[in-house]
Chain A
Amino acid sequence: MRFSSFTYLVGQGLHNLRANRLMTFASMGVLTVCMLLIGAAYLLGVNIDAMVEYIGDQNETVVYMNLDATEDQIAAADSAIRSTAHVVGVTYVSPQEVLSIYSDMLADYIDLESAFSSDNPFYPNYRVVVDSPDNIPTVKQQLEQIDGVYRVNAPLDLSNIFVSLQRTISYACYAVVGVLAIVSIVVINNTIKITVFNRRKEIGIMKLVGATNGFIRFPFFVEGVTSGLISAAIASGVVCGAYYALCRWYAENPTTLSQMFGGQLVPLTEVWYYIVGGFALLGFVLCGIGTATSIRKHLNV
C-alpha cells in the first residue's frame, strides 16, 4: 500500500468516527465502564497481594526452647533453624530480654526484675521469619523436630485466611476481566456491524470499482481501534485519578485495621504504567477483534 493510501484510509476512518459519533459515543461509554471495572479489579488484586505479603513479612513464628535447655542446645538450635528451608530471618530472645521487656511494660505496678531475678519463668525463644505464608506449615513441622525445642507457635490461621482470600479474589478478578472483555468485543462488533450495514451499498460500489477487502476494511479498523484507544485514555485518567485520591485518603485516615496491613496502599507510581499500558492494549485488541469479526458479511460482492 502507498503511504498516501494509508493516510487516506486513516483519514476516512477518523472521518467515519466523527460521522457516527452518537453510536461511537455509546460503545465507547460501555467500553470505558468495562475498563473502569477491570481497573478496579486489578487494583484490588494488587493491594490484596501486597497486604498478604506484608502480613507474611510481619508474622513471626516463635520457637520456644525448653526451660532447662543448655547453652550448647540453644546454639545448636540456632544453626538448625537457620539451615531450614524457607527461613529468611532468625532472632534470638533470651529469657532475660523477655523479662526486661515485660518489666518495662509493667514498671509502674511491680518490679518484675527483682521478683524473678533468681528464677526467670520465661522460655528462651527464637523469632523466625518465613519467606511466604504458604510455607509456614512445613517449616513449623521441621522446627518442631529440632532438639531442645519445647513448642512452636505459628500464626497459621491468619495467614491461611489471607492466602485463601487472595486466591478467591484473584479468581474473581480473572472472571470479571474475562466477562467484560467478551462484553466489549460484542459491543464493538455490533457498533461496527451497524455502520457496515448502513454503508453496505457503498461497500458494494467500492468492490465493483476494484477495491480489495483490505482497502474497505481498513477505515473500519481505524474507527474501531481509535474508539478503543480513546476509551482507554478516559479510563486511564479516571482510574489513576481516583486511585491517587484513594491512596491519600487511606494514608491520612489510619485505622487499627489499616495499620495491621502496613497503613498504605500500593502507590500509584508503581502501578500506573500497568493500568495505562493494559488499557491501551485492551482497547486495541478488543476493538481489533470486534471489528475484524463484524465486516466479513458484506464484503462478498
Chain B
Amino acid sequence: MIDFEHVSKTYETHNDENVALEDINIHIDEGEFVFILGHSGAGKSTFLKLIQMEEKPTEGRVLINGQDLTKIKRRKVPYLRRQMGVVFQDFRLIPTMTVYENVAFAMRVTNISTKKIKARVPFALSLVGLEDKMDRLPDELSGGEQQRVAVARALAHGPKIIIADEPTGNIDPEMSLDIMQLFEAINKVNITVVVVTHEHELVNKLAAKYNNRVITLADGMVASDTAHPEVARRYAAKVAARSHDGYDDE
C-alpha cells in the first residue's frame, strides 16, 4: 500500500541544506497499524508529508497503491489525497469555519451528499467528544479540542489510510488513550493507520496489546522496525561506518 524506495529528503534553506531523511526503505501493507517513533527532528513529519504529497522526495520514490507519487499528474493529486485522512501536527483547521464546517468541508470536497454530511459530521465529532462544540470557531477551542477536531475531520470522509502526526500531543493521557483506541478500532475494518508519536509508554502498551508495528526513526534513518528486526542491525552498522569515516560527532 505505502512504499518508500531509497527515499532521501533534503530541505534547501536560505543558507544551507538540511537532510531530513536518508535512504529510507519501508513497506507498509494494507490494513497495517504502524507507530512511528523518534526524537524531535528525526524526520517523522517529513516522512508523513511525503506520503500526502505536501513535499517531494529529493531522491528515490514513494508509491501508494503502486502509483509513483513523483510521476503522478498534478490533476490526480486531489483524488489520491481524498483516500487519506490526515491529522496534521499543527491541526490546520480553517479559522473562518466552525468546527462543524471544518469537518463538513473535508467531506464536501470528496463529493459526499449533503444528507450524508449532515448525518456523519455529528457522529465523527461525537467520537472525539466534541458534539456539543460544533458551532464554535477553532480559535474558541483549547489546543486539545482543536486537535480532536482535526482527528474527526481525518475520519469523517471514510478514508482508506489514516495518517496522524502527534494526534495526542496536546491531549491529556486519558483522552490520548481514547483517541489511540479509536484508531485501533478503525484499523479493525482494514483501514491502514500510520501514527507518529513520541509517547513511548503508550506505544509500548498498545503495540503489545494490539500487535502493532513500531518503526523508530533517528537522524533521518530507520533505526528499528519491529516488522523487520534485522534493520536495527543494519542501522547500527551504518552508523558505525559513518563514525569511521569521520562524519559523526563521536
Contacts and interface: CB of A to CB of B under 8 A. Distances in A.
Q: Do A and B bind each other?
A: yes
Interface of A: 1-2, 4-5, 8, 202, 205-213, 215, 301
Contacts of A215: 109
Interface stretch (B74-82, B140-148, B175-183): B74-82
B111 A207 contact: no
Given A209-B81, A209-B86, A210-B79, A202 B109 contact: no
A209 B153 contact: yes
Contacts of A205: 92-94
A209 B111 contact: no
Q: Is the interface of B mostly helix, strand, loop or mixed?
A: mixed
B40 interface: no
Nearest to A7: B114
A2 B109 contact: no
Contacts of A4: 113-114
12 contacts: A1-B111, A2-B111, A2-B113, A4-B113, A4-B114, A5-B111, A202-B95, A205-B92, A206-B105, A208-B88, A209-B81, A210-B78
A84 to B, nearest CB: 67
B106 interface: yes
Contacts of A8: 108, 114
A211 B78 contact: yes
Interface residues of B, number: 24
Interface of B: 52, 54, 78-82, 84, 86, 88, 92-96, 105-106, 108-111, 113-114, 153
Contacts of A207: 78, 81
Contact of A209 (B79, B96, B106, B114): B106
B54 A210 contact: no
B92 A210 contact: no
Nearest to B153: A209
A202 B81 contact: no
Nearest to A202: B94
3 cross-chain pairs, A with B, having the tightest CB-CB distances, nearest first: A210-B82, A210-B81, A4-B114
A4 B113 CA distance: 7
A271 B93 CA distance: 52
